[in-house]
Structure 1
């Protein structure tokens, strides 16, 4: 049995497509479990983790770097080329985008309130 794996993601922020390079990452969030040992018996506690998205975006004439840095409470669609799509709600930029003029790109780092597969 073979199946298609994700190779490219299309990212849309409030309906506007952001031309991202290969290598975008999506962490759907959830919990991290921290293991503690008592003798030979493992225990854990849970720490909530926010959904996050990281990608490198091509800096085109349509994208205003300053406006991108102001994004908050956005709806973000992360479309994988294998047919799986994820919707991030209440998304916001976590750090100011930095323009790399030698590559013509900037990093987009976001977190969100929720992430769900649609």
Structure 2
């Protein structure tokens, strides 16, 4: 049986993918795995390749999504991104690390969510 957090995380990744597509991004890959870790979404916008980490929260009890991106997590994303780039024959003018923070809130019996796209999380 899958953990509830896994289900919420996958749901958030689906919403993030739809959001990026609505913004004109082309999705190249989802859940790219390497020995260094996973990249949730790899997208292209113009001649820029974007590696996207998605964090979905139902509560701020453990902090916001951006607070969960530690220096160690950034290092793993960079290593996985390097792995992807070295195995790709495509040249990109620019490379970017982004984060999509999805917060689910409950209003009465109805749940709503907010999407926050943070560009250049490694800057």
Greater helix proportion: 2
Give TM-score scaled by structure 1 length. 0.31
Higher relative contact order (CA 8 A, sep 6+): 1
